[in-house]
A and B are shown apart, each in its own frame.
Chain A
Amino acid sequence: MKTEADYYALFDAYQSGQLPPEEQAALEHRLATEPDLAQQLVDFNELTDTLHGYGRRLTTRRKLRAMQAALDAEQAATEAVLETGHPSMPVMRISRTEQHLREFWSSHRATIAVAASVAILAVFATLLGLEMWRTAQQKPSLYGYTVLRREVERIKRNQRAMNKALTQMDEPRPNEEVNPGKFSGTGFALTTDGYLVTSYHVIQGADSVLIESRDRQRYRAEPVFSDVAHDLAILRITDPKFNGFGRLPYSFKRGLAELGERVYTLGYPREDLVFNDGSLSARSGFEGDTGFYQISIPVNPGNSGGPLLDDRGNLIGIISGRQTDVQSAAFATKSSYLMRLVDSLATAKPAQPYNLPRFNQLTGNTRPQQLRKLQDFVFVVKVYE
C-alpha cells in the first residue's frame, strides 16, 4: 500500500517524464479508471502550481519594489524626475499656487457651474416673483401708472368715462334695503314746475329714475336731455301727484365765478343731506377742461349732481367728479354751460316752458339761513337699471 507521499513522488516523476514507459502506461490506466487517484493528481498539480506562482509573485514584487526604490532614490536626487520620466507629456512649468488653482478648478468646475446657475436662477426667480407679488398687491389699492394712463385715454375719448374713472364717486351706491341694483346721486330743482338738474353719469344707463326729497316724498322722473360732454342731465318730474317745488331761492349765474371764491355744496353722499364747503381752486377742470371748475370741497360718491353755490347764493356749478391721485381736487360743471343748454332747449318750444328763477333770495343771509332755504330744493336721484 502506497502512502500519499509515495504517490506524490510518482506524480512528480510522471510529470517530469522520468517514469519508464511501462510504468507511465500503468499509471495513466489507473488515472483513467480511478477517479480518486485522478483527483489526487489534480490537487497535487494545483498545490505545486500555486507554490510556483506564489514564488514568482514574491520575486516580481521584490523586483517592483526595487524599481520603485530606485525611482524614489532618483527622485530624491533630482526634483523633477517624475516629469522627465514622462516622455509623452511635455511638462509645463507652473507655480505651486497656479497648480493648486488648476487642480481645484478641474476637479470642481462642474459643481461650481451648477451652483452658479442655481444662484442665478434663484436671483431672477426672486426678483420676478417679488415684482409679480408687488403688482398683484398694488392693483386694488393704488392707481398704477399704466392703469392711470389707460383711464386717462378713455377720459379723453369721452367725458362720462372721466367721471367714472377718476372719481369713482359718482357711482353706484348700492342701496341694499330696496333694490340692490340701484345707484344714487344728487339733483336739484331747475324750475318751480318740475325740471331738475343732475350729472349725466348719475342717470347713465337708467331704466327709471326716482326723485326723493328730504321729507321722503318720492316722484317719478324722466330724463329730458343729456349733455355727455359736460356731464349734465335735465330731468322732468312726470308724477301726476307732483304740484311744484315752490319758489326757488337761488338764481343761476351766467358768467364765470371768481378764483378763490368761497363755495359750498349740499348733497346726499349718504342717507342724510350733507353740507361741505371750500374754495374755487381753478377755473378749469381735469386736464384743463374749460367746461369745469376745480374746487377744494371734499366730495364723496353720491355728491354727483349736487349744486355748487357761492357766498351770495348764486348757483355756479354742478358737482361732477374728483381726481383720486390729487389731494382734494373735485370738479364741477360750470353753470354757464347749464344756462346755454337750457336756452337752447327753450328755443325748441318744449311742452313745458323753462321758467328759470330770476331773483335770488339768499343774498345777505348767513350760511345756515341759506341752507335752511336751500335744503328743500336738493333731492336724491335714485336710478334703477
Chain B
Amino acid sequence: MGKGQPSYTDEEFVAAIQGGDDRALAQLYRLHLPMISHLVLQNSGTEDEAKDVYQEGVMVFYEKVREGSLELSCQIKTYLYAVCRRLWLKRLAEKNRFGGRLEDHEPYLETGAEADVDQAEDRDQRFATMAEALNHLGEPCRSLLEGFYLQEKSMQQLTAEFGYTNADNAKNQKYKCLVRLKKLFFTHYKEEESF
C-alpha cells in the first residue's frame, strides 16, 4: 500500500465494514477495481461501464455486510468477481451484444453470489418504485419524508424547517404523508409485480 493505510484480511474487512468503517470500504473499493475494470474492458465494455458495474457490485456486497446476512464461502475478491460478472452479463444481454461467452481471467466459482445479485435486483426494483412514488407525492410531503427518512434529520429540525407550530403537528403531517405515499407506493409496486 505504501500510503500509511492499514492492510486488512478478508475477515477484518467484513468486520470493519459492518462496523461502519468507511476507510475500510474505500480500501476494499480501491483494491479490486482493476480486476473488474479488466473484466469489463476485455468483454466489450468501456471504462465508465466498468465503474458502474463495479459500484453496483460493491453495493451488493456492502448491503449484505451491513445487514449481516453475508455468507462468504470464498474470498471477497472471488465474491466481487462473481457478482460483477453476473451484473455485466445482464448489461450485455440488455445491450444485445453478448456473444454467449465471457472471457474469464479469474477463477470463476459458484459462490451464491448469483442469488445475492438476484436479491439485490428485487431490492433495486423496490427502490426504483419508491423513488417514483416520492416523485409523484408532491410538496411538502416529499421534502418532509425525504428529510426524515433519507437525510435522517430529527423531527425538531424538520419542525423548524417547515414552520410547523410544534413537533406533534409535524408528526401528524408526516403520518398523513406516509398514508399517501403508501397508496402510491403499493399501487405501483403491486402493478409491477403483477407483470
Q: Is B34 an interface residue (CB 8 A)?
A: yes
Bound Cα distance from A51 to B105, whole angstroms: 39
Q: Is B30 an interface residue (CB 8 A)?
A: yes
Q: A60-B62, A107-B103 are in contact. Are A48 and B149 (CB under 8 A)?
A: yes
Contacts of B175 in A (CB 8 A): 5-6, 8-9, 12
Q: Per DSSP, are chain A's interface residues mostly helix, strand or loop, or mixed?
A: helix
A82-90, A262-270, A333-341, A374-382 - interface stretch: A82-90
Q: Is B73 an interface residue (CB 8 A)?
A: no
Q: Are A51 and B145 in contact (CB under 8 A)?
A: yes
Mark each residue of chain B from 8 to 31: 1 if its CB lies under 8 Å from any CB of chain A, else 0.
000000000000001001100111
Q: Are B42 and A107 in contact (CB under 8 A)?
A: yes
Contacts of B1 in A (CB 8 A): 87
Cβ of B102 to closest chain A Cβ, rounded Å: 11
Q: Are A82 and B33 in contact (CB under 8 A)?
A: yes
Cβ of B44 to closest chain A Cβ, rounded Å: 10
Q: Is B123 an interface residue (CB 8 A)?
A: yes
Q: Are A4 and B42 in contact (CB under 8 A)?
A: no
Cβ of B174 to closest chain A Cβ, rounded Å: 8
Q: Is B127 an interface residue (CB 8 A)?
A: yes
Q: Are A54 and B179 in contact (CB under 8 A)?
A: no
Q: Is B167 an interface residue (CB 8 A)?
A: no
The interface centre, meaning the residue of A48, A64, A86 with most chain B CB atoms within 10 A of its CB, is A64
Bound Cα distance from A71 to B34, whole angstroms: 11
Bound Cα distance from A83 to B176, whole angstroms: 54
- A61's partner among B51, B55, B172 (CB-CB below 8 A) is B55
- B31's partner among A51, A54, A63, A86 (CB-CB below 8 A) is A86
Q: Per DSSP, are chain B's interface residues mostly helix, strand or loop, or mixed?
A: helix
Q: Are A47 and B181 in contact (CB under 8 A)?
A: yes
Cβ of A349 to closest chain B Cβ, rounded Å: 100
Contacts of B31 in A (CB 8 A): 85-87
Q: Are A67 and B29 in contact (CB under 8 A)?
A: yes
Cβ of B104 to closest chain A Cβ, rounded Å: 11
Q: A48-B149, A82-B37 are in contact. Are A54 and B172 (CB under 8 A)?
A: no
Contacts of B176 in A (CB 8 A): 5
Mark each residue of chain B from 129 to 171: 1 if its CB lies under 8 Å from any CB of chain A, else 0.
0110000000000000100011110000000000000000001
- B150's partner among A9, A47, A48, A54 (CB-CB below 8 A) is A54
Count chain B residues whose beta carbon lies closer than 8 angstroms to a beta carbon of A. 43
Contacts of A106 in B (CB 8 A): 103, 105
Of all chain B residues, which has the CB nearest A72? Answer: B51
Cβ of B53 to closest chain A Cβ, rounded Å: 12
Contact residues on A (Cβ < 8 Å of other chain), bracket: 35 or more
Cβ of B131 to closest chain A Cβ, rounded Å: 7
Q: Is B71 an interface residue (CB 8 A)?
A: no
Bound Cα distance from A12 to B30, whole angstroms: 40
Mark each residue of chain B from 91 to 104: 1 if its CB lies under 8 Å from any CB of chain A, else 0.
00000000000010
Cβ of B59 to closest chain A Cβ, rounded Å: 6
Cβ of B153 to closest chain A Cβ, rounded Å: 11
Q: Are A55 and B171 in contact (CB under 8 A)?
A: no
Mark each residue of chain B from 25 to 50: 1 if its CB lies under 8 Å from any CB of chain A, else 0.
11001110111010000100000000
Mark each residue of chain A from 49 to 89: 1 if its CB lies under 8 Å from any CB of chain B, else 0.
01111111110110111011011000000000011111101
Contacts of A53 in B (CB 8 A): 123, 126-127
Contacts of B127 in A (CB 8 A): 50, 53-54, 57
Q: Are B63 and A60 in contact (CB under 8 A)?
A: yes
Q: Are B58 and A64 in contact (CB under 8 A)?
A: yes
Q: Are A64 and B42 in contact (CB under 8 A)?
A: no
Q: Are B172 and A9 in contact (CB under 8 A)?
A: yes
Bound Cα distance from A48 to B151, whole angstroms: 14
Chain A 145-204 interface residues, beta-carbon cutoff 8 Å to B: none
Cβ of A228 to closest chain B Cβ, rounded Å: 77
- B30's partner among A57, A60, A71 (CB-CB below 8 A) is A71
Chain B 46-92 interface residues, beta-carbon cutoff 8 Å to A: 51, 55, 58-59, 62-63, 66
Q: Is A385 an interface residue (CB 8 A)?
A: no
Q: Are B182 and A43 in contact (CB under 8 A)?
A: yes
Chain A 7-30 interface residues, beta-carbon cutoff 8 Å to B: 8-9, 12
Q: Is A289 an interface residue (CB 8 A)?
A: no
Contacts of B130 in A (CB 8 A): 50-51, 54
Q: Is A131 an interface residue (CB 8 A)?
A: no
Bound Cα distance from A52 to B127, whole angstroms: 10
Bound Cα distance from A384 to B104, whole angstroms: 83
Cβ of A46 to closest chain B Cβ, rounded Å: 9
Q: A5-B176, A8-B178, A63-B22 are in contact. Are A57 and B63 (CB under 8 A)?
A: yes
Q: Are A64 and B29 in contact (CB under 8 A)?
A: yes
Task: List the 8 closest A-B pairs by CB distance, nearest first.
Answer: A55-B150, A51-B149, A5-B175, A8-B175, A5-B176, A4-B179, A86-B34, A67-B29
Q: List 25 A-B contacts (CB under 8 A).
A: A4-B179, A5-B178, A44-B178, A47-B178, A48-B149, A50-B126, A51-B150, A53-B127, A54-B127, A55-B151, A56-B66, A57-B127, A58-B150, A60-B62, A64-B55, A64-B59, A65-B55, A67-B29, A68-B51, A68-B55, A71-B30, A82-B37, A85-B30, A85-B34, A89-B34
A residues at B contact (CB < 8 Å): 3-6, 8-9, 12, 43-44, 47-48, 50-58, 60-61, 63-65, 67-68, 70-71, 82-87, 89, 103, 106-107
